[in-house]
């Protein structure tokens, strides 16, 4: 989708440090954040179940 961290942060409202930690494997992608990303970008979560 060619998105930056700033794009994602602005859409889902999580701290920059959280996205950085997820990207670097220091924090797992929680179901809550994954749902926020799917909702923000109109992605059908069922496709990735």
Q: Are 45 and 38 in contact (CB under 8 A)?
A: yes
Give the per-residue pLDDT at 2.
Answer: 83
pLDDT of 3 reads: 81
Say if residue 5's pLDDT is above 80. yes
Distances in Å between the Cα of 6 and the Cα atoms of 18, 24, 34, 40 are: 12, 16, 16, 14
pLDDT per residue as tens digits for the range 7-45:
889 999 999 999 899 999 999 999 999 999 899 888 998
Q: Looking at residue 31, what is its pLDDT?
A: 93
């Amino acid at each position: 989708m060619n998105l930056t961290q700033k794009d994602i942060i602005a859409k889902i409202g999580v701290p920059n440090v959280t996205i950085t930690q997820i990207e670097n494997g220091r924090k797992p992608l929680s179901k809550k954040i994954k749902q926020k990303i799917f909702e923000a970008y109109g992605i059908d979560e069922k496709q990735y179940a």
